[in-house]
Amino acid sequence: MKMSLTLLSLALAAVAGNALATPPGPVKSVVLVHGAFADGSGWADVTKILEKDGYTVSVVQQPETSFGEDVKATQRAIDSFDGPVVLVGHSYGGSIITEAGNDPKVAALVYIAAFLPDKGETTLNLIDKMPPASKGIKKTPDGYLYLDPAVFAADFAAELPKEQAHFMAQSQVLTAAEAFGTPITTPAWRNKPSWAMVAGSDRSINPDLERWMYKRANSHVTEVKGANHAVYMSHPKEVAQLIEQASKGVKP
């Protein structure tokens, strides 16, 4: 009898421990990862909406000097939270969260007009699979990529005011070409739920590629018709809504 009571006590303690490990309600912490040729400031409007709705947000400013360093920068942001997080990536940021999302704190992944590679794939593999409309990516002599300022507005930020798109082209962060060629070792979406947004008029990533990647990953998908690549800036309400759905495990 003593042994039975002891086993029962241990079982109850285990259940209690699991309850504490999985807090009730939606995940209220969000980590946002920008893509190539941009920086974290583009998440400003999405952040304002999320914070107004009670979320705590961290915006990653990855160096874009290598894929490994970008993953590490994202992991540092995840580590800044004590509990579970929703991890969000735009464009090349999707490749980053696919690797960084293996962190135990990551409860859900959100891809916003983003690459979603599988094991062994690279960002470049996916670009070559279904090339985008844009042909404006250039390379510096020392191996960094940038988007030609002459086409930046049309191919990246067509829905934004001209002055804003012009400044983004001037201030874009160059990305190491090596980062686009680094293969994924462990795709987090294989073990964690994912949500995704297709930008219907994306010129930087082929919208058909977005649809194909998200279908392959069984992501919960929403599409914004007519949206350009910078959909997270031009449609912040829709993007924030999708992130909040992911935080609650709700299908769009």
**Amino acid symbol at 217:** A
Report the pLDDT value the prediction gives residue 251, as an integer from 0 to 100. 86
Report the pLDDT value the prediction gives residue 25, as an integer from 0 to 100. 63
Count the Cβ atoms, other than its own, within 10 Å of residue 21: 9
Report the pLDDT value the prediction gives residue 92, as an integer from 0 to 100. 98
Q: What are the φ and ψ backbone dihedral angles of 42, each rounded to 5 degrees? A: -65, -15
Residues 217, 110 contacting (CB under 8 angstroms): no
SS3 216: helix
Helix axes 92-100 and 67-79, enclosed angle (nearest 10): 60
Structure tokens at 247: 């935080």
Architecture (CATH level 2) of domain 27-132+179-248 = 3-Layer(aba) Sandwich (3.40)
Q: Which residues of the chain have pLDDT under 70?
A: 1-25
Report the pLDDT value the prediction gives residue 41, as an integer from 0 to 100. 97
SS3 17: helix
Residues 249, 224 contacting (CB under 8 angstroms): no
Annotated domain spans of the chain: 27-132+179-248
Report the pLDDT value the prediction gives residue 4, as an integer from 0 to 100. 40
SS3 74: helix
Report the pLDDT value the prediction gives residue 9, as an integer from 0 to 100. 39
Say how far apart CA 62 and CA 204 lie, in whole Å: 20
Q: Say which residues have a Cβ less than 8 Å from residue 215's Cβ, sequence separation at least 6.
A: 221
Report the pLDDT value the prediction gives residue 26, as an integer from 0 to 100. 87
Say how far apart CA 89 and CA 197 lie, in whole Å: 11
Report the pLDDT value the prediction gives residue 20, as an integer from 0 to 100. 29
* pTM tops 0.75, yes or no: yes
The length of the chain, given as a count of residues: 252
